[in-house]
């Protein structure tokens, strides 16, 4: 069976047809695509899209269809996956000396891009859409939900590990009158976060979490744990316990995988999040064993689909201004990133967790807040 027939047969399982009439059907412009994808897996699929070899009118729906049918499992043994596995198995790709790579290659690419995409809140993580009508409302609702989950009160001193552009700390300072320290590995985030948090009792530092000292009333981390790495989970949790006051809470928001992995998707690894890896429930549980009590575990991964679609809409609308700085290839890469992940979350293949931990168990029990 030739390469094209193999790909057609695979796509039939998902109800997808090459050059078909549906908006999720891929339109192929280079017949070499089939061999390239069969030999190179997900990396080849993404790179061939960036090269203009294929497209789909609704890229998010295309990924929803193929991921719901688990077609990605057909490429699990490609040599690229094996190479990625071996690198992650042998080396600590997220050790302290490498911790600033993700900042330089992803978060430092341009505050103008993120300001255009993320909206007024500058929150680069899943929004809480339960009662929200738009992105800004969803992100503000998420910030307030976090504050209520940790019982934030006036005068508390908060640590935000991976603070981004200072969005959460700014919200908490303005609405709950707290003091805070935010750390990030991105120079551009530090620059803008200091500006956004000006005249508030908030300090922003360019710093790796392993070098932190002090004691905090509560510690939060939103969308940073995906950069910690399996080999460092226990180190991370031990450091958080060291920094957290007794009878205080640690809040963690992270994207999660349904199975334990030690390597990332090759395309995401190469173009979007170098050295990133999604944790599993088992890996998180092992990392906190004997250190923390798990008080609450909240999954609202379905909301990430709406968040990503809102980000893409903002990015797409702003492209006329952004294209003077960023290339057409960058546009295709960023579109592929946002919409492929939207389809992935829609298919519920990956999750979004908010987890609340205590050091010794919340006295009288923890009351779950939704």
Query: What string of pLDDT tens digits covers the 370 residues of the chain?
Result: 698 998 999 899 999 999 999 999 999 999 999 999 988 888 999 999 999 999 999 999 999 999 999 887 765 444 444 444 444 444 444 445 455 688 788 999 999 999 999 999 999 999 999 999 999 999 999 999 999 999 999 999 999 999 999 999 999 999 999 999 999 999 999 999 999 999 999 999 999 999 999 999 999 999 999 999 999 999 999 999 999 999 999 999 999 999 998 778 889 999 999 988 999 999 999 999 999 999 999 999 999 999 999 999 999 999 999 999 999 999 999 999 999 999 999 999 999 999 999 999 999 999 999 9
Could you report how far apart the first and last alpha carbons of the chain are, in Å? 53
Tokens (6 digits) for 147: 């504050």
Residue labelled with tokens 């979350």: 345
CA 137 to chain centre: 19
Largest CA distance in the chain: 69
pLDDT of the residue at 74? 63
Question: Which one, of 340, 205, 332, 337, lies nearest residue 273 by Cα?
Answer: 337
Q: How far apart are CA 333 and CA 290, in angstroms?
A: 42
Neighbours of 317 (CB within 10 A): 12
- Is the pTM higher than 0.85? The answer reads yes
Which pLDDT does position 268 carry in this prediction? 93
Q: Where are the beta strands (DSSP E) in the chain?
A: 27-28, 54-55, 157-161, 179-184, 202-206, 216-222, 244-257, 293-299, 350-358
pLDDT at site 294? 98
d(CA 64, CA 14): 9
The CATH number, out of the four listed (3.40.50.150, 3.30.1490.20, 1.10.260.40, 3.30.465.10), of the domain defined by the range 97-342+349-358? 3.40.50.150
- Beta-carbon contacts of residue 25 (< 8 Å; ≥ 6 apart): 16, 17, 18, 19, 56, 62
| Residue spans per domain, the chain | 3-76, 97-342+349-358
Contact 334, 268 (CB under 8 A): no
Q: What pLDDT, on a 0 to 100 scale, did the predictor assign at position 243?
A: 98
Give Cα 349 distance to the centre of its chain: 14
For residues 363 and 330, is the Cβ–Cβ distance under 8 A?
no
Residue 74 burial (CB count, 10 A): 16
What are the DSSP calls for 28-87, one per residue? Answer: ES-TTHHHHHHHHHHHHHHHHHHTTSEE-SSHHHHHHHHHHTTGGGGGTT-HHHHHHHHH
Residue 96's pLDDT is 55
> Residue 81's pLDDT is what?
45
């Amino acid at each position: 069976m030739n390469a094209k027939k193999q790909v057609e047969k695979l796509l039939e399982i998902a109800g997808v047809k090459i050059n078909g009439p549906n908006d999720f059907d891929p339109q192929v412009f280079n017949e070499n695509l089939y061999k390239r994808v069969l030999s190179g897996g997900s990396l080849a699929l993404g790179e061939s899209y960036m090269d203009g070899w294929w497209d789909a009118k609704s890229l998010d729906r295309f990924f929803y269809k193929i991921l719901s049918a688990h077609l990605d499992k057909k490429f699990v043994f490609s040599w690229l996956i094996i190479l990625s596995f071996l690198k992650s198995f042998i080396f600590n790709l997220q050790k302290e000396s490498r911790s600033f790579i993700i900042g330089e290659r992803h978060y430092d690419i341009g505050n103008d891009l993120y300001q255009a995409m993320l909206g007024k809140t500058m929150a680069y993580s899943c929004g809480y859409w339960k009662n929200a009508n738009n992105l800004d409302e969803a992100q503000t609702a998420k910030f307030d939900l976090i504050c209520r989950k940790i019982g934030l009160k006036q005068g508390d001193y908060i640590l935000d590990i991976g603070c981004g552009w200072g969005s959460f700390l700014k919200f908490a300072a303005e609405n709950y009158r707290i003091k805070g320290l935010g750390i990030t590995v991105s120079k551009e985030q530090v620059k803008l976060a200091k500006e956004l948090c000006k005249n508030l009792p908030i300090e922003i530092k360019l710093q790796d979490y392993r070098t932190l000292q002090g004691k905090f009333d509560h510690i939060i981390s939103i969308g940073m744990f995906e950069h910690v790495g399996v080999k460092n989970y226990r180190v991370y949790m031990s450091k958080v316990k060291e920094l957290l006051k007794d009878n205080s809470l640690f809040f963690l928001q992270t994207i999660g995988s349904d199975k334990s992995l030690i390597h990332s998707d090759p395309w995401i690894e190469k173009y979007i999040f170098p050295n990133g890896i999604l944790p599993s429930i088992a890996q998180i549980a092992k990392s906190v064993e004997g250190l923390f009590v798990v008080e609450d575990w909240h999954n609202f991964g379905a909301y990430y689909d709406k968040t990503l679609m809102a980000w893409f809409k903002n990015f797409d609308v702003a492209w006329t201004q952004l294209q003077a700085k960023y290339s057409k290839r960058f546009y295709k890469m960023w579109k592929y990133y946002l919409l492929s992940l939207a389809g992935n979350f829609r298919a519920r293949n990956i999750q979004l967790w908010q987890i609340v931990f205590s050091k010794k168990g919340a006295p009288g029990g923890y009351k779950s807040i939704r």
